[in-house]
């Protein structure tokens, strides 16, 4: 197939990125809006403070406060990539507040998430090029069948940090010994990944540690010099906003539950817990193995015989970096990560995981049942992802298997992810892209196979989907209220889900909550 598989994979991704306009008028996505507010503040007022934007566009949870001034509670690394979109939005939609915010979010997402995701896919293809069967499958599965694709459609930092982390790994531990220039660039990229997402410091440190021997003294000094630049930028940002180089935004939360959370351990992170580990790997709402079963090949990939000299450092980096992030985030009280499809805190290290998945797949694809099971795992990840992306890509953290317990109801009522295309055209485009993605994964997982293997894999998938469709959403009051609010308000479905909850509102607090949400639904947008 040569490079045809990569062109098709990238083509599916690029078309999806271009047709989706992931702005929900009635859902104030805090992780995204906080970043967009600051970009608009810097462009329109020359200020990092977002008080005026909060008043104009609406408040949300992800806000920090210092000296009576409001700021995002985010690491600032994505901000430079949001400024071009904010500048363009400020000029094109000066008198339209909602249009300005929408344009800032959409253009910012293209530069800060979509483009880094595409670059990351190309880097992953480069890093697995020596594996003729496992490499293409791993790249396509990462791209089309993991929550990484969902992250590329949202203005979160995970797509950017994943790209930076993989780029730093390749510069330091590629096939040739890095020169000092490559070491300096790697230091800058890994340092900037930390400025985008603070917990990435651990996997970045694991990559750097693995490369120390290859770098030598001169390379290590160059690496350190490169890394100091983004850290100096972060120190300057912290000083300007919060009064000191080590005063981080997460220490100045305004939202009560977040403020209480960061007081536990080190900014909310304590010792690793078995509950956090099990949840991040196996929970039906956030488990990485549930959303992308092919990660099981990571273990095989870590154990296969080395394929080139000097691989020990690369093997250590590819193994230790993801495990370090997993362990540290298992100690985070909020390991679920809020409303998001999958374990978002693990996404920065997922490309490194899939480098080893490619090696594991190279071995598994040598056997008939290996091909069948690999195809099943890849297609399961695809099914989990695409239904959620096509409907409402912010499933609550207490909804198990949202592709089967949340998305079908929304899709049946005509809810689709926002786009500039008419709904009927968008539905057709999404269906075609999803079908092409599934066929791509099936063909790559069964290279040169007979039709029977593919039929068995599809039959097993249909059986697994049938079993999954029998899972019922939680019946708790909170979970039912969340689903009703998503349906009636956030996703803009036909009204009625909130009214259907009135018979279950047996207490004054529940009745007041239902009526409050109905009032918000029926009120004009902010």
85-136 per-position pLDDT tens digit: 999 998 888 778 888 999 999 999 999 999 999 999 999 999 999 899 999 9
Is residue 291 within 8 Å of residue 381, measured between CB atoms?
A: yes
Phi, psi of 269 (to 5 degrees): -105, 125
Q: What percent of the chain stands above pLDDT 90?
A: 80
pLDDT in tens, 179-238: 889 999 999 999 999 999 999 999 999 999 999 988 989 999 999 999 999 999 999 999
Q: How many CB atoms lie within 10 A of CB 363?
A: 18
Q: What is the mean pLDDT of residues 250-270?
A: 83
Contacts of 194 (CB under 8 A, 6+ apart): 75, 77, 200, 201, 204, 230, 231, 234
Query: Cα torsion for 458, 460, 466, 472, to the nearest 10°?
Result: -120
pTM of the model: 0.95
335/322 Cα distance (integer angstroms): 15
**Predicted local distance difference test score (pLDDT) of residue 310:** 53
Using the predicted structure, report yes or no on whether residue 42 has a pLDDT greater than 80: yes
Show Cβ contacts of residue 508 under 8 Å, excluding neighbours closer than 6 positions.
none
Confidence of residue 449 (pLDDT cuts 50, 70, 90): low
Could you give the CA distance from residue 162 to residue 449 in angstroms, rounded to a whole number? 33
The answer to whether 514 and 481 have CB atoms below 8 angstroms apart is yes
Tell me the C-alpha distance between 231 and 61, whole Å: 26
SS (H, E, C) 55-71: HHHCCCCCEEEECCEEE
Mean pLDDT computed over 434-451: 90
Give the C-alpha distances (Å, rounded to integers) separating 279 from 96, 262, 284: 43, 20, 8
């Amino acid at each position: 197939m040569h490079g045809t598989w990569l062109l098709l994979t990238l083509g599916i991704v690029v078309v999806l990125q271009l047709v989706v306009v992931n702005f929900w008028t009635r859902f104030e996505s805090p992780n995204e809006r906080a970043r967009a507010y600051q970009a608009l503040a810097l462009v329109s007022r020359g200020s990092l403070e977002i008080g005026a934007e909060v008043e104009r566009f609406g408040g949300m949870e992800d806000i920090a406060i210092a000296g009576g001034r409001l700021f995002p509670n985010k690491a600032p690394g994505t901000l430079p990539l949001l400024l071009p979109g904010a500048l363009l939005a400020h000029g094109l939609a000066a008198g339209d507040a909602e249009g300005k915010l929408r344009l800032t979010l959409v253009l910012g997402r293209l530069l800060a998430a979509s483009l880094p995701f595409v670059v990351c896919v190309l880097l992953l293809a480069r890093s697995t090029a020596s594996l003729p069967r496992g490499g293409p499958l791993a790249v396509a599965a990462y791209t089309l069948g993991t929550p990484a694709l969902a992250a590329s459609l949202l203005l979160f930092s995970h797509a950017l940090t994943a790209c930076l982390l993989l780029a730093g790994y390749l510069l330091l531990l590629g096939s040739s010994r890095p020169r000092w220039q490559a070491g300096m660039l790697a230091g800058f990229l890994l340092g900037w990944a930390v400025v985008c997402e603070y917990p990435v410091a651990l996997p970045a440190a694991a990559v750097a540690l693995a490369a120390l021997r290859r770098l030598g003294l001169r390379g290590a000094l160059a690496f350190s010099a490169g890394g100091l630049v983004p850290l100096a930028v972060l120190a300057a940002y912290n000083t300007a906003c919060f009064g000191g180089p080590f005063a981080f935004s997460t220490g100045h939360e305004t939202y009560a539950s977040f403020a209480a959370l960061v007081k536990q351990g080190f900014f909310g992170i304590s010792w690793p817990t078995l509950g956090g580990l099990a949840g991040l790997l196996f929970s039906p709402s956030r488990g990485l193995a549930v959303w992308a079963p092919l990660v099981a090949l990571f273990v095989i990939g870590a154990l296969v015989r080395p394929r080139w000299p000097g691989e020990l450092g690369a093997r250590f980096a590819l193994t230790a970096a993801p495990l370090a992030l997993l362990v540290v985030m298992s100690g985070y009280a909020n390991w679920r990560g809020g409303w998001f499809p999958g374990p978002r805190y693990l996404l920065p290290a997922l490309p490194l995981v899939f480098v080893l998945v490619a090696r594991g797949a190279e071995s598994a694809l040598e056997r008939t049942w290996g091909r069948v099971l690999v195809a099943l795992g890849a297609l399961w990840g695809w099914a989990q992802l695409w239904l959620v992306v096509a409907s409402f890509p912010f499933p609550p953290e207490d909804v198990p298997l949202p592709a089967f317990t949340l998305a079908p109801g929304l899709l049946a009522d005509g809810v689709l992810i926002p786009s500039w295309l008419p709904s009927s055209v968008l539905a057709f485009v999404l269906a075609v892209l999803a079908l092409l993605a599934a066929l791509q994964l099936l063909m790559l997982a069964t290279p040169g196979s007979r039709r029977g293997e593919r039929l068995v894999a599809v039959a097993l998938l249909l059986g697994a989907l049938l079993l999954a469709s029998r899972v019922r959403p939680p019946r708790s009051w909170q979970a039912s209220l969340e689903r009703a609010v998503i349906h009636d308000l956030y996703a803009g479905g036909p009204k009625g889900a909130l009214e259907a909850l009135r018979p279950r509102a047996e207490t004054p607090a529940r009745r007041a909550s239902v009526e409050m949400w109905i009032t918000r639904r029926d009120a004009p947008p902010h």
